[in-house]
Amino acid sequence: MGNALFYHLTRSNAETLLPQLIGKAMGAGWRVEVRGQDMARLEALDTAMWMGDGFLPHGMAGGAHDERQPVLLRQADSPPAANGPQCVMAIDGAEVAAAEAAAVTRVCIVFDGNDSAALDRAREQWRSLSAAGIAAEYWSEAGGRWEKKR
C-alpha cells in the first residue's frame, strides 16, 4: 500500500518543487505521472522541464510513446497514464482516488498554501486518503526549508 505526502507551498511554487520531487522519484527507479487540471499549466511545466537547470526526460500524455516515458504529464480528465507510474504527483487539486493511491508506491499532493480553495481541497484529500488507510505525511516550507510536520 502506498503513502501520500502533502507539500504545502508557501514560499516557492510547483515549478520549483516538482523537478526536485521528480528527480528523487526517478532516483528510486520509479516512473512518475504528474497530474493536473489545466492543460496550459501542464504545458508550462513541460516547457520548464525541457529548459530548466537539469533536464528531466518526460512527455505529455497522448504521444506515440507514452508507455516508454519515465515521467508523463497528464490532464486529470484524460485516459489513465500509460507509463505505469509508481508515483503520482497531483497539482492544482487534481483528484487521486484512495484505490489508486493504494496501488502505487507514493502519491505527492502539491498545493498552494496561499490559496484558500487549494488549502481546503488539500484538506479534503487528506481526509479521504487517511480514511481509506493511506499513510499520509504533511510537509511544510514555512520555516524556510522543507520540514515534515506532525
Task: Give mean pLDDT in consecutive 10-residue pieces for the chain, a chain of 150 residues.
Answer: 92 90 95 95 85 77 93 94 96 95 97 95 97 96 87
What pLDDT sits at residue 76? 94
What is the reported pLDDT for 150?
76
pLDDT at 54: 66
How far apart (Å, rounded) are the C-alpha atoms in residues 82 and 44? 21
Give pLDDT, residue 48. Answer: 79
Domains of the chain: 3-149 (3.40.50.10110)
| Burial class of 56 by CB neighbour count within 10 A (0 to 12, 13 to 18, 19+) | middle
Round to whole Å and give the CA distance between 107 and 122.
Answer: 13
Could you give the angle at the alpha carbon of 117 between the alpha carbons of 73 and 20, nearest 5°?
35
d(CA 1, CA 9): 26
Looking at residue 52, its pLDDT comes to 64
| Predicted TM-score (pTM) of this structure | 0.94
pLDDT of res. 24: 95
Pairing of strands 147-149, 135-140: antiparallel
